[in-house]
Amino acid sequence: MINVVKTQNKMPGSFVVRSLTCAAYSSRPPRSLPLASAAGLLFRVFCFGRRSLGLIVVLGLICGSSFGEGQYKTTKKTKVAPQAPVSVPSAASLSPAAASQLASALKMVQSGQYQAAVPLLYSLSRRSEFEREKMQIKYILGSALMDLGLNQIAAFQFVEVIKNGNSHYVRQAIEKLSLAADQLGDDTLLNYAVSRIKIEDIPAASKDLIYFRLGEVKLKAGQLSQALDLFGRVPEGSRYFFLSRVNKGLALLEEGKPQEAISTYKALVGYRANAYVTDTNRVVAQLGLARAYYQATDWENSIATYREIPRDHPLWHEALFESSWALVRAARFRSALSNFQSLHSAYYEDFFLPESLLLRSIVYLYVCKYDEMAKVLDLFEKTYGPIRAQMSGFMSNNSDPVAFYNEVDQANNIRLGRPGRTKLPLKVDNQILHEGDVKRAFAYLKILNDEKNKLDSMPNISRSPMGAVGRKILGNRYKNAKIFIGEMTKAHLLEMRAELKDQYEQASFIRYEMINGEKEVLKKRIAGKDAPKVMLNDNIDRSVYAQNGYEYWPFDGEYWLDEIGNYHYLGNQSCE
């Protein structure tokens, strides 16, 4: 019999889940992590904060007037030179009526009457008589839309200015497009913007954003030294500072410099030392530090850091599994088996984690528990055999990306408590929804939907030709985003199916080792050499759990949520 006990501290001390500081998107480590490799435990986190961005609208009244005219006095009452006027196109080619309309639109923007200005600016940009002023009008139109929170519609105005290329508003349009794309979380627009930016032309107020986003582009392209340089330029006071240092640690790990990564993540943990224990940024830093220790083969520090992650944080389950690898590498088999008791509880039955069953069977192999090992391998085949078949069937019967999108969309509805019906097991769909790229894409869909609702709430714009164009832009982007999610879902399913195939092969090898081990045990029994009963890892017995304010009682097969993570394996090993 395998003895498992639960320990529960009598003193209250459970952590309270508090609101997260930002939405963290972390793509999981590879599911197959060889015992001899730690490089797989890398991660990426994308966190998009939301804040109001002040807009600098470069405006000038036609007919000769300009901003900044007049004189200013210092405290010593000395005159200061007038501020240079903003350059605006000449109005000589415009009729008095046209000039008056443009002046009226610009005055509306100056006074913050954006909802009234937007339809007029759009109308003016479509008229041939304003051809010379078109790029200026487009830029101002985009700025006004952005100030209304219509970032996706605004982005298309800036793109048109950038594509034109001949306007002196191009550099400003690139800057605004990068800000809009950052708010949207639209990597395509963002890459379009940053690929056209010259570092020396970046305004000081936007440099931290551009450094961070350029660093992401370089990191994704594998240009690690350039990525490290760009991430290092983001100043500490920036809203992108924390994320830039997280990605810097990732780049260092990919460069094979775990010690430098450890220093980076230690600094981040210290930076968030005064935050709540469930603060996502703090937990992300701890998780990064634990993974860096793992890559450095410092198993004990890795284990200790994983254990600092609070149980009531969404990343705890992931940390618990990863720490099991570190425990196995440190030959702490009893502690690893204790982790599996929580990982494989009914509370996590919708998690796609076939690797954890194989790792559990390997631990049983190490301690010669062949009966338990056989049960785990049988459970692996019983659970993931049908899943593998369902995945293959679904992919054979569907080729349209929209069908793959609909599948994960239904699963997302279920996750959010809305009605939904899936064709694949929920644990498969949930795993895909957990992927970083899919998370970001669904967040983008929500932003588009929110923008459409915002547009509909502005009758002056929504009932105008600009409103019709805006709805078309949002509709096309929504449609394309759904297709993109479908393509990502298909790619993840292909990867998961390939990994399952490989894991089934590994399960066959493990079963062979189990049979071979059982054969050796039988030989020893026939020869009268039974294996001694020895506690796993150390000589601690049950009495230790009754000390220091803990209660001890045997596990009877019933799981309780407040006991998850408090299980301790007390079995004996059967090896000589």
Q: What is the pLDDT of residue 354?
A: 95
Give alpha helix (H) positions in 74-133: 96-110, 114-125
| pLDDT at residue 83 greater than cutoff 70 | no
CA–CA separation, 194 and 217 (whole Å): 9
Q: What is the pLDDT of residue 51?
A: 30
Q: What is the pLDDT of residue 538?
A: 45
Query: What share of the chain in percent tops pLDDT 90?
Result: 56
Read off the pLDDT of residues 7-58 as tens digits, 9 standing for 90 and up.
Answer: 443 333 322 222 223 333 333 333 333 333 332 322 323 232 333 323 223 3
- DSSP-based three-state secondary structure for 418: coil
b/e sequence 155-186, b meaning 16+ C-beta within 10 Å: bbbbbbbbeeeebebbbbbbbbbbbbbbbbbb
Between 529 and 379, whose confidence is greater? 379
| pLDDT at residue 519 greater than cutoff 90 | no
Farthest CA pair distance, the chain:
111
- DSSP-based three-state secondary structure for 32: coil
When mean pLDDT is compared across 205-209, 358-362, 571-575, the lowest value belongs to 571-575
| pLDDT at residue 462 greater than cutoff 50 | yes
Range picked from 27-31, 97-101, 356-360, 526-530 for highest mean pLDDT = 356-360
CA–CA separation, 280 and 73 (whole Å): 49
pLDDT average, residue stretch 289-295: 97
For 203-252, give the DSSP string. -GGGHHHHHHHHHHHHHHTT-HHHHHHHHHTS-TTSTTHHHHHHHHHHHH
Q: What is the pLDDT of residue 148?
A: 96
pLDDT average, residue stretch 511-521: 88
Instruction: Quickly tell me which residue has 């709540």 as its tokens.
Output: 276
Which helix (H) or strand (E) segment is 191 a member of? Answer: helix 187-194
| pLDDT at residue 263 greater than cutoff 70 | yes
Joined together, the tokens standing for residue 311 give 């149980």
Joined together, the tokens standing for residue 177 give 């497009």
Name the amino acid, one letter, at 473. I
pLDDT confidence tier of residue 62, bands split at 50, 70 and 90: very low
Q: How far apart are the first and last CA of the chain?
A: 18
Q: What is the pLDDT of residue 296?
A: 97
Nearest 5°: phi and psi at 554? -65, 150
- According to DSSP, the residues that pair with 8 across neighbouring strands are 551
Nearest 5°: phi and psi at 532? -70, 155
Domain ranges of the chain: 94-194, 370-530
CA–CA separation, 358 and 506 (whole Å): 8
Region at 165 (left for phi over 0; alpha for psi -120 to 50; beta for the rest): left
If you average pLDDT over every residue of the chain, what do you get?
79
CA–CA separation, 487 and 481 (whole Å): 10
Joined together, the tokens standing for residue 89 give 């196109």
Between 100 and 6, whose confidence is greater? 100
0.85 exceeded by the pTM? no
Joined together, the tokens standing for residue 74 give 């210092």
Query: What torsion, rounded to 10 degrees, do the Cα atoms 427, 428, 434, 440 define?
Result: -140
Read off the pLDDT of residues 156-189 as tens digits, 9 standing for 90 and up.
Answer: 999 999 988 776 888 889 889 988 988 998 878 8
Nearest to 535 by CA among 335, 325, 377: 335
When mean pLDDT is compared across 342-346, 360-364, 423-427, the lowest value belongs to 342-346
| pLDDT at residue 2 greater than cutoff 50 | no
Instruction: Quickly tell me which residue has 């009729």 as its tokens.
Output: 95
Name the amino acid, one letter, at 526. I
Q: What is the pLDDT of residue 544?
A: 52
CA–CA separation, 462 and 477 (whole Å): 18
pLDDT average, residue stretch 277-286: 95
Give alpha helix (H) positions in 14-169: 96-110, 114-125, 134-147, 151-164
Q: What is the pLDDT of residue 568?
A: 52
CA–CA separation, 182 and 189 (whole Å): 9
Q: What is the pLDDT of residue 571?
A: 57
CA–CA separation, 174 and 62 (whole Å): 25
Q: What is the pLDDT of residue 40?
A: 31
Which helix (H) or strand (E) segment is 568 a member of? Answer: strand 567-569
The alpha carbons of the chain give a radius of gyration, in whole angstroms, of 30
pLDDT average, residue stretch 257-268: 97
> CA angle at residue 33 from 31 to 321, to 5 degrees?
65
Q: What is the pLDDT of residue 572?
A: 57
Read off the pLDDT of residues 193-202 as tens digits, 9 standing for 90 and up.
Answer: 777 777 776 7
For residues 48 and 185, is the Cβ–Cβ distance under 8 A? yes
Q: What is the pLDDT of residue 344?
A: 84
Q: What is the pLDDT of residue 563?
A: 52
| pLDDT at residue 449 greater than cutoff 70 | yes
For residues 567 and 337, is the Cβ–Cβ distance under 8 A? no
For residues 445 and 469, is the Cβ–Cβ distance under 8 A? no
Nearest 5°: phi and psi at 286? -65, -40
pLDDT confidence tier of residue 203, bands split at 50, 70 and 90: confident
Which residues, including other chains, have CB under 8 Å from residue 84's CB and lie 6 or more apart?
68
| pLDDT at residue 536 greater than cutoff 50 | no
Q: What is the pLDDT of residue 214?
A: 86
| pLDDT at residue 413 greater than cutoff 50 | yes
CATH architecture of 94-194: Alpha Horseshoe (1.25)
When mean pLDDT is compared across 347-351, 429-433, 491-495, 549-553, the lowest value belongs to 549-553
CA–CA separation, 219 and 393 (whole Å): 36
